[in-house]
Amino acid sequence: MEYLKIRNWDKWQTYRSDRGQPPWIKIHRCIMRDPEWVSLSDAERGQLIAMWLLAADHDGEIPASPNLIQKLCFMSKEPNINKFIELNFIESTVSHGGVNMASTW
């Protein structure tokens, strides 16, 4: 299975690795001034936050399947992954030493 990476996950989310999966994510107020964030519709902002919550389970990574993301995040519509990639919220590839990760979903 292919994965996508939330851009700057390590910069914006800081967790102690000895505590397992975090019960929360940080959403910094400065995002309200980000032109890409402002260009999203209300629904797209909600989808992005849901994907961030999903990414917290796997160190900033989400499945590359919009259908699977829709199901895992309980969305009414599939997210437009390409739009989130174009706006630099998501990176289109995840590299693990040149080897694709095995599915843990």
Taking only the tens of pLDDT, the chain with its 105 residues reads 899 999 887 777 776 566 666 777 888 888 889 999 999 999 999 999 999 999 988 888 999 999 999 999 999 999 999 999 999 999 986 544 444 444 444
Instruction: Write down the pTM of the prediction.
Output: 0.80
Q: Which of 55, 43, 40 is nearest to 7 (CA)?
A: 55
> What pLDDT, on a 0 to 100 scale, did the predictor assign at position 42?
96
> What pLDDT, on a 0 to 100 scale, did the predictor assign at position 101?
42
> What pLDDT, on a 0 to 100 scale, did the predictor assign at position 96?
47
Structure tokens at 65: 């399947």
> What pLDDT, on a 0 to 100 scale, did the predictor assign at position 99?
41
Contacts 24+ apart (CB under 8 A), 33-38: 36/87, 36/88, 36/89
> What pLDDT, on a 0 to 100 scale, did the predictor assign at position 49?
94
